[in-house]
């Protein structure tokens, strides 16, 4: 006597769900990548910076930076250090220039893989144009475009 069809279907679904859940946990960080417009509107800070040194101390990686340009920031204090929490969404930065967005927590700037983290050499001319035109807010007449029509 075999397994009834409904039991076989249920077992199959449970198997695929367990594989899917295990894969999600194994991959770790899951988020939608932000474009420069989303980074601008949803972040406390947007800067162009050169990473000069990394120090790893749990629970954060600490990056010394040379700030090249402040596009957006919640206060005027100079930024010399940024942090990335050592978790599945940690931003791994090299000694290069980056365009970074992040959030401020207790006076410290934090970035992660879900923020806008892009080597400056890879920042497109359209993204640079957005940064130059939209330093006053999110409503600057540039609408992000996604899909095949762009």
Q: Is residue 64 situated within a structural domain?
A: yes
Q: Is residue 1 situated within a structural domain?
A: no
- Per the structure, the complete domain to which residue 54 belongs is given by 36-133
pLDDT at 145: 60
Q: Is residue 16 situated within a structural domain?
A: no
Higher pLDDT, 18 or 149: 149
pTM (global) more than 0.95: no
Burial of 49 (0-12, 13-18, 19+ CB in 10 A): buried
pLDDT at 130: 86
Residue 122: DSSP 8-state: G
Higher pLDDT, 90 or 41: 90
Q: Is residue 103 situated within a structural domain?
A: yes
Q: Is residue 141 situated within a structural domain?
A: no
Structural domain count, the chain: 1
In this predicted model, what pLDDT tens digit does every residue of 62-89 receive, in sequence order?
A: 999 999 999 888 777 889 999 999 999 9
Alpha-carbon distance values, 112 to 20, 68, 108, 109, 116 (Å): 24, 20, 13, 10, 8
Report the distance separating Cα 6 and Cα 100, nearest Å: 51
Q: Is residue 148 situated within a structural domain?
A: no
Mean pLDDT of 100-104: 93
Q: Which residues contact 86 (CB under 8 A, 6 or more apart)?
A: 56, 58, 59, 60, 61
CATH of the domain at 73: 2.40.50.120
Strand 60-72 to 81-85 pairing: antiparallel
pLDDT of residue 46 exceeding 50: yes
pLDDT at 61: 95
Q: Is residue 66 situated within a structural domain?
A: yes
Q: Is residue 2 situated within a structural domain?
A: no
């Amino acid at each position: 006597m075999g397994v009834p069809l409904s039991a076989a279907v249920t077992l199959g679904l449970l198997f695929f769900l367990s594989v899917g859940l295990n894969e999600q946990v194994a991959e770790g960080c899951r988020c939608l990548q932000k474009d420069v417009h989303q980074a601008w509107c949803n972040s406390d800070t947007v800067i162009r910076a050169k990473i000069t040194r990394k120090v790893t101390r749990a629970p954060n990686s600490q990056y010394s930076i040379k700030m090249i340009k402040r596009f957006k920031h919640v206060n005027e204090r100079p930024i010399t250090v940024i942090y990335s929490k050592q978790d599945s969404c940690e931003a791994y930065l090299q000694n290069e220039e980056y365009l970074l967005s992040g959030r401020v927590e207790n006076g410290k700037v934090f970035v992660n893989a879900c923020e806008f983290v892009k080597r400056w050499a890879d920042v497109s001319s359209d993204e640079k144009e957005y940064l130059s035109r939209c330093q006053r807010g999110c409503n600057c007449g540039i609408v992000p475009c996604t899909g095949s029509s762009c």
